[in-house]
Structure 1
Amino acid sequence: MGLMRRFRIWAGSVALRRKIAIALAMAALASGIATYLALTESPPFGPDPSAVLSLLNLDLALLLLLGAVVAWRLVEVWAERRRGLAGSRLQIRLVLLFSLIAVMPTIIVAVFSCLFFSFGVESWFSDRVRTAISESLAVAEAYLHEHQQAIRADVLAMANDLNRDAMKLSLNPQHLEQVVSAQAALRGLSEAVVLDRAGRTLAKSSLSFTLGFERVPDAAMRRADEGDVAIMTNDSDDRVRALVRLNQFGDVYLFVGRFIEPGVLNHMEETQRAAAQYEQLEGQRSGSQIKFALIFMMVALLVLVSAVAIGIHFATQLVVPISRLVTAAEQIRGGDLAARVPEGEKDDELASLSRAFNRMTYQIESQQHELREANRQLDERRRFTETVLTGVSAGVIGLDRFGRVNLPNRSASSLLGVDLEEAIGQDLAQVAPEMGGLLDEAARRPERLAQSQVQLVRGTSTRTLLVRIAAEHYGREISGYVVTFDDITELLSAQRKAAWADIARRIAHEIKNPLTPIQLAAERLRRRYLKEIKGDAETFTVCTDTIIRHVGDIGRMIDEFSSFARMPAPVLKPENLSEIVRQTVFLQRTAHPEIAFATTFSAQPVVVRCDARLVGQAVI
């Protein structure tokens, strides 16, 4: 939120700077035209020097302000070009074009104006004009001198009268005010005021209405402190004033005024000012011509800078949308899919392009969101698959289409004797070379299940693994492999034992069948013929006993042989029947993918005392 707020503030300040630049440019153009009309004494200005001076001051202020704005903007444009921002070169070309369009007519007008002014100056300094100004100045100075001497004499006389009675008048302010009023009326003074240095009125004449409110200039105060009479006129030019210090009253002053004819005083001041200006201009004719030429050049420069400012504005109006599009494209390339460009209210090609760009970025952002959601679901499925494979006793390894390990379970690491988590990304042929040939067979015939028994030798131990490799393919493209294997060493041993047990059972059956008749026949021979044999009966007895004894020995050997043919004694301990069946079905499902196995297990473990191996063999 803070970043967006700062961005809006910056954007607002940029828009404000542009508005200020345009306003200054328009004002500069208007001021330049008005200044030219005033210098040529064209309507509506006419011969008005104050208007010319005001316009020149305004031109100078606008020129400085507009020059600063244009310089700052040109620096920005040049910096943008140095950084290689889009649109900066076009903007510079447009600015140069506007400048060239404006500079030529401006220079022509300025040159002809300077020539026109030079010819006009020659007629200003004629003898008739010089004589008229001199005579007018002499009359004005005589009139002013007369009034100044009169009010000087009156204020000194009045000050002497007040100083003479200072002791008495300072103790009675009311009487002081009466005396001041009487003295002012006696000497024909319009107003009279007694005041201190701070400007506080101590006494005034009855007709004093404005004099007490005027601030006495510091220069007049200093001149009065020196003992002289300070003569001055007010801003309205309708009276002459005089200030003198009342020494007997302490730090107190007498301030008097006398109304004179305003028109006479104005004419006098205008005459003095005109004479002074005339003498100054006559002595500085060449300098004045140069100054006026510079003024015309300043106006020309003002128009030129205004044209540059307007050119920058229009160039910016054309270039800014393009720059925004390029900047937003760079942001999208950097991964910020939330980048948008202002569409604006205009219905032009740039606005249509901005709207199309925003629609495109919105679609890209939506698709990325969907892709992230799909990746999240795939990751959840992967974790679920890893959890399921963790509880499987058989080894399971997922391979990519190049035969590299990417998803092993713990049983696979245990059976192979290798930490497959560290072997992720390696070829299966490097991790388990014994399975390399079977993987090649699965790659050659991806539509068939590759299965084989593999002898795994690790150190001094040898294991027999039943390995099955199934290829995952879409059409003709193989996307990966699933390798499942289990240790069947004990199973093979049990199968061999079962085979030998069957053989032993058959042999025992075939051998044991004639033993009983042989033993019975030997016993019968001994009972029947022992008494009839007279000679060597002992030998007969030994022979029959030997036959009976060896038949018994052979019978016991057959019993031992038969005991080998029986199932091994079960080892009973608590086992989960659901887990035994789940592992057995998993192996069979992997071995026979063409068969659909359906299983239903209880939510709670089914624990019974049994031999897990024998029960698993029974399920198979």
Structure 2
Amino acid sequence: MSLTRQVSSIKSSRAFRWTVGVGVGITAALALILMFLLTQATGNRELYEQNYARLLALNVAVAALLLLVIGWVGLRLLLRLRQRKFGSRLLVKLAAIFALVGLLPGMMIYVVSYQFVSRSIESWFDVKVEGALDAGLNLGRVTLDTLAADLANKTRQAATQLSETSDAGAGLALERLRDQLSANDVVLWSASGQVIASTGESRFVLQPERPAASLLRTARSQRVATQIEGLEEAAVGNAGAGAAAPSTPPRIKALALVSSTSVGLLGETRYLQITQVLPAGLVANAIAVQEANREYQERALARSGLRKMYIGTLTLSLFLAVFGAVLLAVVLGNQLAKPLLVLAEGVRQVAQGDLTPKTALQGHDELGGLTRSFADMTQQLLEARSAVQQSMSQVDAARANLQTILDNLTAGVMVLDVQGRIQSSNPGATRILRAPLAVYHGKALGDVPGLEAFGQGVQKQFETYFSETSQRGLEHWQQSFELNAALPGSPDNAITLIARGARMPGTEECLLVFDDVSEMVSAQRAQAWGEVARRLAHEIKNPLTPIQLSAERLEMKLSGKVAEPEQAILTKSVKTIVDQVDAMKRLVNEFRDYARLPAAELKPVDLNALVTDVLQLYASENAIAPVQTELDPHCPRIQGDAQQLRQVIHNLLQNAQDAQEGLERAAKASILVKTSYAETTRRVRLSVRDNGTGFPEHILKRAFEPYVTTKVKGTGLGLAVVKKIADEHGARIDLSNRVTADGVVEGAQVSLSFAVVT
């Protein structure tokens, strides 16, 4: 907790210094921005107008940033005051004083400047100036219109002179007209837009520019038409800073209809076009007046924005002054109150048990020396407490290591008190006993459902151990226990445990360690039965053949030599001997096959296809009870030996058929073969379920042992072979009776769980 407070204090100090640095940087940036805005607005209007939107957005962003910083500083001071931190009142008082010192003069300057800016901007726009610009613009338009009208009259007169001139002599006449009118270009056009004759600039052009269709229509209807070209391009070129000069100077074009004196259909309409360049001075003056009027109108429209810009600049100046005052107040107040704050915070932390290194000021005054002495004292206390904590840490580490070992042990470990109540247990105990032992901590082991007998046996062993320890000096006790039907999930519904118990040194608690040896016992039993089967097959099979041959030879020698009654007895006796010898041979062969079961050759196998193939042998005409299937189509392939798995399915189906033979409820007899796939565990489950009488309790515990059977004619090797094949495949096998809610047994079920192909 103390370390957290120290880290928080260090972060707070760093945040404050970072805030001060950022505040100083923002202050300098604001000063530069304000100077730039004022300079650009008064000295370079074009640049100001081009960047008006950007400057406005920048001003709004800067104003918002200033407000946020000032609000954050004020909120921080208010929180310190509400938390009653030492020195907070002094900081608030200094901040208020400096803020007032900066605010009052700033407000007075702001009011005066606001009035000055508003009136100054309005005085820039005068009605007389606007009227003069309009008059100049109108004068330029009238002058251009006069020049155009004069050229139109001259062109109409020249067209009258050309009415008697043929196309062949038009060139010489056009040359005289160009000299008389001082024109730059003279062109005679046909009605189809073809050049008849030309002089001037168009003479050097292969394809002169044809008159516009609108201009031709006007000339045809009004006898003459004029057009001023190039003036707009010249104005644009003059306004653009880097724009290219227009290719042709501004000029006036006049187009007049040339009347033809020819009578008849052969006379063709002609048009006379005269082009005259406008005087450069006139063009320059007209463009200047037009540009000045446009600029004046734009500025008149933007004067409200200019006023807002100046007022915004003044407002930002006021914010800057207030921000600087508050920031200065915080900095100076912090410098004055910092030593006292350091000592107050250090004393509070020590009172709460926090002995982490304290902040010491490097100043040479008395307060700085006091902070250094206080820091040295807390450092000595911290070293003393660290030694104690190191010892405790070693103990905790040893305990954690022991707990890790217990959690990862495959054996079960439990701690019990002298009354047999569970104090603690590891995950191995929960896994082996298949019971949520953590829920029963504080309760007796015998109170756990299904572990009553185990708990009583363990408690009895501890009582014997305690009574004999003082007499015989026993270090521990060891005993085997068998848990059966109460703990489903083991291969044969029985668990064999090897348990050891002892007293924990220095306490009244007892340590119980146990391990599940069911698989080991099952493997030993299977190995023992295999050895027995092998020896029986060897010892019994050899004399069976001579016995059978001797009986048959005896019958052959005595047949026809004895009386009829004796002959019947002889034939019956020999038949009995031969039949029993054959039965013993079959029994011996089954034992031999069990003992010599080959190792499984695991390959990918489709279990559904294998079940379908075997079920062909159990059609309705061959089966005692009908066989139904529920095959999961999503079952993947499993790792298995197809031949051995076929034998497993056959043995299970044959047992299910035999279990329902002769039942009174044969009409309801049925067998269900089911496959399913669990995606979470990635295993395929095969189940065979019947509606028979189930297994007796004493058989259910040992059903997978050889020669354990409920059938009169059975050898008891069917389930033993299934169990052995399941072990070869690494499959889990379960055997249980199907019991209704009323406790009535309605059949048995055998299930095998196989791993899928990876």
TM-score (norm 1): 0.34
Q: Which has the higher helix share?
A: 1
Higher relative contact order (CA 8 A, sep 6+): 1
TM-score (norm 2): 0.29
Larger of the two Rg values belongs to structure: 1
